[in-house]
Structure 1
Amino acid sequence: MTAKEAVPVRTSEPESDDASVIQPIGFTPAPVSTGGHKLFLSPRAIIVAACLLLGAGILVYLLVARSLIIETQPVDADVSVSGLALPLGDGHLVLPGKYNYTVSATGYISQSGEVNVSSDSNSRRAVKLERLPGHLQVVTEPSSVPVRILINGSEVDSQQGLARNISAGRKRITIESERYLPFSKEIEIEGLDNTQIFTANLRPAWANVHITSQPQGATVTVEGEVLGTTPLTAELVQGDRTVSISLPDHKPAEVIVPVTAGVDQTLETVDLNAADGLLRVVSSPEGASVTVNGEYRGRTPMDLELSSNKRHELRFFKDGYGSVNRSIDVDAGQQQQLNVMLKAVFGKVAITSSPEDAQVLIDGKLAGTAGQTFTLPTRSHKITVRKDGYEDYETTIVPSAKLEQSVRAVLLTGEQARWSNVPAEITHSAGGKMLLMRPNAQFTMGSSRREQGRRANEVMRKVALTRPFYIGTTEVTNREFRRYKRQHSSSHTNGISLDNDGLPVVNISWNEAALFCNWLSARDGLTPVYRTERDRIVGFDSGANGYRMLTEAEWAWAARYHRGSMRKFPWGDNLPVGKNSGNYADNSAAQIVPAVLRTYTDRYAATAPVASFPPNPLGVFDLGGNVSEWVHDLYTIGTGLSLKTEENPVGPQDGDYHVIRGSSWRHAGLTELRLSYRDYGAEPRNDVGFRVARWVN
């Protein structure tokens, strides 16, 4: 029967007539108390489920977790790891990921770090802790001695012998104290914030030194500290000690005493000499030189320290004054003064000038005019002689009281003065000598058509030559040329050598001669004259100051011009050939040249050493004979005597051939022996050389 089925209920009422009818009654279900929500699982089931779940989690943790082992020094250090880290034996069991750790131990500096634990393998980390610094207490014998503590050579702070915070490890400890020898030893500093005891047995660093003096009672001082009076015994620290001994009215003495610790010594008695006296010397006029016993001591006014109880010889002297001698002695420790009067001494100086009537200045002051005699003090004077339009003449002179002196002033114009500073002779770096030429001449080059032996290229030209220049006194020698080109050989002719050092260089082209000039300019720091391209001369700079060959006008002037006229031959104007006048084709050359001078002998079959024959009036050698010479100019032929005067001509810039001037050892004919003879060429010949020149700008 279910709860919803009707249950018949009996009553105690008597049955009525309608008893036969059954009446329904209301039904209300009996209330059921639930006690809250009804559990689907019992508590026991829940506990079992939780245990299973925890076991599963632990199983998963054990399967996923990895070990983290941190090896420490010291081994008993404490290790803490952040997060879920289960201590397990010597390490921790952790899930993969990043963890922070801290390692600490008593007496050590804690150390922290981070470690990354991977899922692939276990992790291991080594951590070595650094010991905390230690402390060192120094105990000395003898005790209570102030000390300085050095660790590995560097001083550290300390108080009452205690040095704090010394890093652990092997250290060299040095203990220093005044008056004691250093004590040094190596020890191991434990660290760990512990204090160690270090005992230092100090040995004395001094010795006893006995000091005496004569006389006694002198004060003894060592390095600024007064120790007492002699005689005394002092404790001196080892080393070289300077002992000063002083006594009133006596000269102080210093003794260097080498002191060795523990080695006592007695010094020799120190003799103290009487003190110097002080002499102040004054002269009138001031500035007199003073000597004492022949030794120079200075100029007045001055103070002289002189040894006492001794005679001294003093001498006073000054330019323009007579000397004064004095003898003097001074008392020990006393001061005296000596006054000296110097008397002026005079001498006579006669001054003349050219031109006359020039002003005379003495020591910068106008004193009169030239032609006078001046009385001057016997000291050094600056003499200036001056006249308008001329450069000043200056000199210095010291008049003599015993002898009258004279000054002759030759005044120069500004131009003359400038040239006086230009040397008349120089030597170039290859060794050749050169003379200064200052031509100021107008002359005619070439020769008249009526002149016997004349060639058509000797056209007459009017030339003004005013530009100063240096000229080589001789032709360039083999020795000089080989400084430029070491392998050059001038060769020989018919077995006769042309290659000796003192002979003129031959068998060179004009281009080689010009390159030598450029090389010489570079050696002497001058501007090259010849412009080059690939060792070929392509032009020239007529404003350059370097070396070059003579221009044709310079060669003609140097060879021919003499006292306003032009010479015909090197020896004069007429035949025959002058004796010893040069090296031409003479009897000696009869075997090697077709024509010779039968009545002339010069002793050389081919070239002769330069300067073997007398120079011309200008001091230049071999302008005629020996070798013909390349000159600067390119070869041209004029059309006739022009009315226009050429000033300092240098020839054209372009052309195929260069001029050759002068006769050589091969020449004997009238045409070639003339100084107006002109030839030309470009290639080397065994009778053609050159000489160098340079302009003076």
Structure 2
Amino acid sequence: MTAKEAVPVRDYEPAHEDASVILPIGFTPAPVSTGGRKLLLTPRAIAVTSCLFLGAVLLVYLLVARSLIFETTPSDADVSVSGFALPLGDGHLVLPGHYSYTVSATGYLPQSGDVEVSRDSNSRHAVKLERLPGHLQVIAEPRVPVRILVNGTEVESADGLANSIPAGRKRITILSERYLPFSKEIEIEGLDNTQTLTASLRPAWANIYITSNPPGATVSVEGTVLGTTPLTAELVQGDRVVDISLPQYKTVQLPVPVTAGVDQTLTTVDLAAADGTLRVVSTPPGASVTVDGEYRGQTPMDLELASNSRHQLRFFMDGYNTVERAVDVNAGDLRDMSVTLTAVFGQVSISSSPSDAQVFIDGKLAGVAGQTFTLPTRSHNITVRKQGYEDYQTTIVPSSKLKQSVRAVLLTGEQSRWSNVPAEITHGAGGKMLLMRPDAQFTMGSSRREQGRRANEVLRKISLTRPFYVGVTEVTNREYRRFQRMHSSSHANGVSLDNDNLPVVNVSWNDAALFCNWLSARDGLKEVYRAERGRVVGFDSNANGYRLLTEAEWAWAARYERGSMRKFPWGDSLPVGKNSGNYADTSAGQIVPAVLRTYTDRYAATAPVASYNANQFGLYDFGGNVSEWIHDLYTIGTGLSLKLEENPVGPKDGDYHVVRGSSWKHAGLTELRLSYRDYGAEARDDIGFRLARWVD
């Protein structure tokens, strides 16, 4: 109570009149210290407040925290978690977030990792620890050094102890020299424990009794000496080779199959006397040697000869006389033999065309052609050489009993090149073609005074020098159907034109050109004709593929003979020669309006190709059978040009192509002439074609 506080005065009613009146006394306040501040809260209040705060924090933690539980193998493993984590039963109570953990147990490899604890649910994780490797102590009976294999792979070991074997079921194999393998499956416990395995080893050898005649021979196996005969040897099982040797005797190699535990007594080995050695040399060296008819090699050489017997030796060499010797040697002897071979010569006469060419024999200049050379009777390489010509080469073996001759015909480079070009080829469809090498100037067409001449047979001066192949016959139905399998040449008034060996007809010029391109592609050649959407639009005169004959080539092949031009296939005058071709004869009277009354060719329409006589070049049917599509576009000249045309291939523009040669429908003078020309583009039943190819 302070000084300023007033004490209320209460009115009391006296109990009685004599009651004494209680008087107030003076109040003196207690002294107050002014040296410090007065505490607002007492220590007790602070303690209470702190407990309340901690309780609130713990309550919030319990509301927010989630349990993190680890299911470990083994179950008694220790788990440590980073950060603030309250152990709680089998797990930990943690706030949501990222934590690192480590799980460890005795005998196991520790495992660490990271976990993420979410706000939504508790977290549970399974952790399986890997057992530490174990160790294996192998006790071998008998006590011998061993090698240890785990699942077929050898592991390091010392005194039978193999360390750090991964835990689990393993096949253990124990190997030791001279013992059979021991194998057993065991469970390696791991956990850094050491297990013991007892291996009872069985011997892998057998006792082999070996004797020889004479005795005292040294016995060895794979280079290891075992002793001398008679001998009982312990051999490890398997296919063994036993060497039995004795001085002055031949060493015997004896194959012995050994089975563990199965003892053997071998048949006594009879030792034969050792060979003698004969060292042979010859003059000249390199002579071939036979011993008792068996070839043994060339001198110089060492010959191993059976002792105590006579041997026949023969020495021979090309160009030398044969030498024969007889010899015998003692066991272990080393003897020398020297033989001299005498050369044998023969005469070879070498001539050449042209003459005076140089002659090289075995690469060395020996003289000039026209001489006779004396040469050893062995194989020699002969080269005859002259400037401007290709070398002539041959091989010859002179004979001492007969004089031989070599005639060398030298070729120029051009001649040599053509000698390697085949004169005949067979194309991919099966037809034959012959090589033509024209070198001619001739006049193509006919004179205005020639009977039967047409206006389109204008005279032209031609120079034909480009080599080419030409079909021996016209293309047959069989050949064309390799390109168009369903093609039919049809018939003429019921007479078939479709048999395999008849010339193909009812093909347009475009069809014939596309056949040429197909055949070029098949035979790996460059196509001559340029086609777009199945239509020929041009050609490449440098291509080496198949094509149709040019008109100049056709005229030369059909007419040219020894510098002049034939008028008809059979000659220069009528009547038609016998067996000269297939024309409109009496047998075709029911099909064509006009026929040759005095000629018979046996066929009403087309005939099989090559049925009649070939012309001067060995080509068939340039007259008769079917007319032929020509490579050239059709045009008509205005008269004999003074300009010489070299290897012409026809004009660049035109609507039609040339047709040459008469057919089975023709009997008139105009058509039978080889200068007859026609034109067209579309298929007819009397027009076929013949193949050609320029030579590269």
Larger mean Cα displacement after TM superposition, 71-80 or 207-216: 71-80
Task: Say whether residues 1:290 and 2:289 are aligned partners.
Answer: yes
- For the residues of structure 2 that align with 1:83 and 1:696, how far apart are their CA atoms? 94
Q: Secondary structure at the match of 1:336?
A: strand
CA offsets 1:676-697 (integer angstroms, 9 cap, x no match): 1111111111111111111223
Does the 8 Å CA contact 1:432/1:476 hold for their aligned counterparts?
A: yes
Aligned to 1:681: 680
Measured in 2, the distance between the counterparts of 1:325 and 1:146 equals 64
TM-score (normalizing by structure 1): 0.90
Displacement after TM superposition at 1:188 (Å): 2.0
Aligned partners of 1:545, 1:98: CA distance in 2, in Å? 82
**Are the equivalent residues in 2 in contact too, given 1:348–1:400 (CA < 8 A)?**
yes
Give, in angstroms, the shift of residue 39 of structure 1.
Answer: 5.7
Deviations 1:156-180 (A, max 9, x none): 2222222223333222222211111
CA pair 565-63 structure 1, distance change in 2 beyond 3 A: closer
1:386 and 2:385 are equivalent in the alignment:
yes
From the superposition, tell whether residues 458 and 98 of structure 1 become closer, same or farther in structure 2 (CA, over 3 Å).
closer
Question: Per-residue CA shift, 1:412-465, capped at 9, x if unaligned?
Answer: 233222222222222212121111212221111111111111111111111111
Supply the distance in 2 between the matched residues of 1:248 and 1:95 (Cα, whole angstroms): 96
Alignment of 1:433-452 (within 5 A): 433-452=432-451
Does the aligned pair in 1 maintain the 2:471–2:692 contact within 8 Å? yes
1:202 and 1:465, CA in 2 relative to 1: closer, same or farther beyond 3 A? same
**Equivalences for residues 652-691 of structure 1 within 5 A:** 652-691=651-690
The 1-side partners of 2:458 and 2:82 are apart by 120
The within-5 A match list for 1:496-515 is: 496-515=495-514
The answer to whether the 8 Å contact 2:2/2:29 transfers is no
Q: Equivalent residue for 1:169?
A: 168
Contact kept, 8 Å, 2:81 with 2:99, in 1: the verdict is yes
Alpha-carbon separation, structure 1, partners of 2:116 and 2:676: 110
CA contact (8 A) 2:215 2:229 kept: yes
Which residue type is aligned with residue 469 of structure 1? F
Residue identity matched to 2:197: F
Matches within 5 A, 1:86-97: 87-92=87-92
**What secondary structure is seen at the aligned counterpart in 1 of 2:670?**
helix
Unaligned runs of 5+ in 1: 5-27
- In structure 1, the residue matched to 2:280 is 281
Q: Find the residue that maps to 1:429 and give its secondary structure.
A: coil
How many Å separate the matches in 1 of 2:387 and 2:67? Answer: 116
Asked whether 1:618 is paired with 2:617, we answer yes
Matched residue SS, 2:518: helix
Q: Does the CA-based 8 Å contact 2:149-2:173 persist in structure 1? A: yes
Deviations 1:335-354 (A, max 9, x none): 21211111111112222223
Structure 1 position 303, deviation (Å) = 1.8
Q: Distance in 1 between matches of 2:461 and 2:113?
A: 109
Q: Which moved more, 1:358-367 or 1:445-454?
A: 358-367
Counterpart CA distance in 1 for 2:457 and 2:83 is 122
Q: TM-score, normalised by structure 2?
A: 0.90
Query: What's the counterpart of residue 159 of structure 2?
Result: 160
Look up the match of 1:538: 537
Bigger mean CA deviation after superposition, 124-133 or 568-577: 124-133
The code of the aligned residue for 1:226 comes to V
Aligned counterpart, 1:7: none
Q: Deviations over 1:42-99 (max 9, x none)?
A: 6666666666666666666655665554444333444555666555544455566666
The aligned residue for residue 73 of structure 1 is: 73
In the aligned structure 1, how far is the partner of 2:117 from the partner of 2:466?
Answer: 101
Decide whether aligned partners of structure 1 residues 696 and 132 sit closer, same or farther in structure 2, where only a CA change above 3 A counts.
Answer: closer
- Between the aligned partners of 1:61 and 1:634, the Cα distance in structure 2 is 107
C-alpha distance in 1 between matches for 2:142 and 2:212 = 35
Give the match for residue 471 of structure 1.
Answer: 470
Distance change >3 Å, CA 255–CA 445, structure 1 → 2: same
Distance 2:548 2:234 in 1: 90
Q: Give the AA of the match of 2:73.
A: Q
Q: Distance in 1 between matches of 2:516 and 2:326?
A: 73
How big is each residue's C-alpha offset from its partner over 1:275-333, in whole Å with a ceiling of 9 and x where there is no partner? 22222211111111222222222221122222222222221111111111112222222
Structure 1's 106 and 364: CA in aligned 2 closer, same or farther, altered over 3 A?
closer
State the one-letter code of the partner of 2:351.
T
Encode CA deviations 1:212-251: one digit per residue, 9 max, x unaligned: 2222222222222211112211111222222222222222
Moved more, 532-541 or 48-57: 48-57
Q: Do the aligned partners of 2:211 and 2:268 also contact (CA within 8 Å) in 1?
A: yes
SS state of the match for residue 557, structure 1? helix
- Greater alpha carbon shift after TM alignment, 184-193 vs 507-516: 184-193
Cα 1:31–1:601 change in 2 (3 A) is closer
Q: Provide the secondary structure at the position in 1 that maps to 2:438.
A: coil
Query: For 1:553, what is the secondary structure of its paired residue?
Result: helix
Pairwise mapping of residues 596-607 of structure 1 onto structure 2 (< 5 A)? 596-607=595-606
Counterpart code for 2:459: M
**What is aligned with 2:14?**
none
Q: Is the 8 A contact 1:539 1:654 kept in 2?
A: no
Matched, 1:554 2:527: no
Alpha carbons of structure 1 residues 96 and 543: separation in structure 2 relative to 1, 3 Å: closer
Aligned length: 674
User: Mean Cα displacement is larger for which, 170-179 or 60-69?
Assistant: 60-69
**Rounded Cα–Cα distance in structure 1 between residues aligned with 2:628 and 2:2:** 165
**Structure 1 residue 137 corresponds to structure 2 residue 124:** no
Q: Structure 2 CA distance, aligned partners of 1:381 and 1:562? A: 46
In 1, Cα distance between equivalents of 2:48 and 2:463: 141
Q: Aligned partners of 1:155 and 1:3: how far apart in 2?
A: 107
1:606: Cα distance to partner?
1.1
Deviation at 1:125, TM superposition (A): 4.1
Displacement of 1:202 in angstroms is 1.2
Q: CA deviation at 1:127?
A: 3.8
Counterparts in 2 of 1:247-258, with a 5 A limit? 247-258=246-257
Q: Distance in 1 between matches of 2:83 and 2:415?
A: 109
**Cα 1:45/1:372, change in 2 over 3 Å:** closer
Query: How is 1:195-214 mapped onto 2 (pairs within 5 angstroms)?
Result: 195-214=194-213
Give the secondary-structure state (helix, strand or coil) at the position aligned to 1:181.
coil
Residue identity in the other structure for 1:209: I
> What is the letter of the counterpart of residue 169 of structure 1?
G
Deviates further, 677-686 or 367-376:
367-376
Q: CA offsets, 1:616-640, max 9 Å, x none?
A: 1111111111111111111111111
How many angstroms does 1:400 deviate by?
Answer: 0.7
Residue identity (%) = 80
**Aligned-residue offset at 1:671:** 0.9
Aligned amino acid, residue 141 of structure 1: E
**Structure 1 residues 642, 270: CA separation in 2 closer, same or farther (over 3 Å shift)?**
same
Q: How far off is 1:116 after superposition?
A: 5.3
Q: Are the structure 2 counterparts of residues 370 and 130 from structure 1 closer, same or farther at C-alpha, using a change threshold of 3 Å? A: closer
Task: Quote how far apart the aligned CAs of 1:595 are.
Answer: 0.9
Partner SS state of residue 180, structure 1: coil
Structure 2 counterpart of 1:107: 107
Coordinate RMSD, CA, aligned: 2.8
CA contact (8 A) 2:378 2:398 kept: yes
Q: SS at the partner of 2:241?
A: strand
SS in 1 for 2:481: helix
Amino acid at match of 1:107: G
What is residue 148 of structure 1 aligned with on the other side? 147
Residues 1:648 and 1:142: Cα distance change in structure 2 (over 3 Å): same
Cα distance change of structure 1 residues 77 and 435 upon mapping to structure 2, 3 Å threshold: closer
Query: Which stretch shifts more, 241-250 or 497-506?
Result: 241-250
Counterpart for residue 309 of structure 2? 310
Q: 1:457 touches 1:637 (CA, 8 Å); kept in 2?
A: yes
- Distance in 2 between residues matched to 1:32 and 1:60, nearest whole Å: 45
Q: Which residue in the other structure is 2:234 paired with? A: 235
- The residue matched to 1:624 in structure 2 has which SS? coil
Give the SS at the match of 1:434: strand
Q: What's the secondary structure of 1:483's corresponding residue? A: coil
Alpha carbons of 1:598 and 1:225: their partners in 2 closer, same or farther (altered >3 Å)?
same
Tell me: CA distance 1:141–1:643, structure 2 relative to 1, closer, same or farther (3 Å).
same
- Partner amino acid for 1:225? T
| Distance in 2 of aligned mates of 1:3 and 1:603 | 173
The 3 A distance-change label for structure 1 pair 242 and 39 is same
Gaps of 5+ in 2: 5-27
Deviation at 1:579, TM superposition (A): 1.4
Kindly provide the amino acid, as one letter, of the partner of residue 140 in structure 2: T
Q: Indicate the SS of the match to 1:348.
A: strand
| Secondary structure in 1 matching 2:621 | coil
